[in-house]
Structure 1
Amino acid sequence: MSLFLALFIALGIGLLAEHMGWLKPGASWAAALVGGLPLWAGGVPAALAVLFFVALGSLASRLNSSSRDRAGRTASQVLANGLPAALGLVLGSPTFFLAALATATADTLATELGSRSPRAWHLLKGPVESGTNAAISGPGTLALLAGALLFAPWAAWLEAPVWAVVLGGLTGALADTLLGLGEDQISWWSNDLTNLLATTLGGLVAVWLAGAFAA
């Protein structure tokens, strides 16, 4: 499949996602990149992995009445969560691709389900209201673990080391919580930057683990 056709197909799906309310108006071009590049570089299985992440995250947001993403995600959110994964696959690493998606999925589920917990804990503030940025909770932690594990079958399908993808996803999602502390301390630090760094880290950790233990 040509790159142009892959981007065109992904743009169509992005426009449909806008219509369904999964994306904010004008975010379809970002979806075209995040979905089109994997379709071109990895074929239908890779594109389905992206759709799985998007659908799962959107469903979790819709089921959480207090979610800030319930009305759809912006272009910058789409790129922060999905572009590192897409570029990793273009550069030839299904392991990076899936671990970055696992990171984004684990973080999304932890945020959406953790915010419904009766209590949470913040590294700098101690006990806080659930939904506080960079706070952790029991349900959120379990959701984080489940989000990473959900990419084990995808890793098997795309012939990437399952354990490296899962551990990379867990590491990236945990790092997302720590990186989130920067949002409270640094004026220009945004949640999109946190997500971008975390997904990239999750992919890099998975690649490093796969290489280190394969040698």
Structure 2
Amino acid sequence: MTPVNPGVPARRHRHACRIAALALLMGSAAKAASTVYRQVAAAPPGQADVEVTLLPLHQVNLAAVTTGLDRARAEDAARWPAAVQWEAEESRRTYDVRYVAARAQEIVDQVDPPVGPYAVPPLTAEQVARGDLITAVDEVALLWKSDPEEAIARVHEMAADGDLAAVEILDEAAASAERCALSAMRQACVAASASEAAALCLAAVTHAVLGVSMLSTDP
């Protein structure tokens, strides 16, 4: 079971700056999508082609948004150095547990490396140890979209054996959602049509909301 550190703050406080930065991203993306759909709604009902402006989207400085998120992450870390240290220790501890288990299995299953131009070498213990966390994050993120309570229960199950920490699963899942939100906004900026751009902006909002939910939920 993941150790509990009573000195670690509630996650909504621990990640307050980052949550605020994600909220700004949501606002920008929602404003861009709203502008498109307001123009569509204002057109005559029978008009198939509606000329719309994507100015609010083009006014979003994605480089500044990305920098803002990085700065927010650094500000949160500066506000809670003890929590940052504890999280890093937990991450190292669980990685070591997964690595040792993967290395032991690697020795047991040791076979001659495959040969040939299309041969795929077996995963190393390091890759397996990192892959276990990625697999857990993907499962939790998918489950969170439909049932957050069940997702957090699954996080507890994953952390029960000590090879994963609840906080690191939530943090990595939130970071993944954040990257998806930024990716959706980048795609919206080069979308072939206004409707596609608006849909991508709304997708960015959805990803950002998911990230905020994970950042503000205590395991």
Greater radius of gyration (CA): 2
- Tell me which of the two structures has the higher relative contact order, counting C-alpha pairs closer than 8 angstroms and 6 or more residues apart: 2
Q: Give the TM-score taking structure 1 as reference length.
A: 0.27
Q: Give the TM-score taking structure 2 as reference length.
A: 0.26
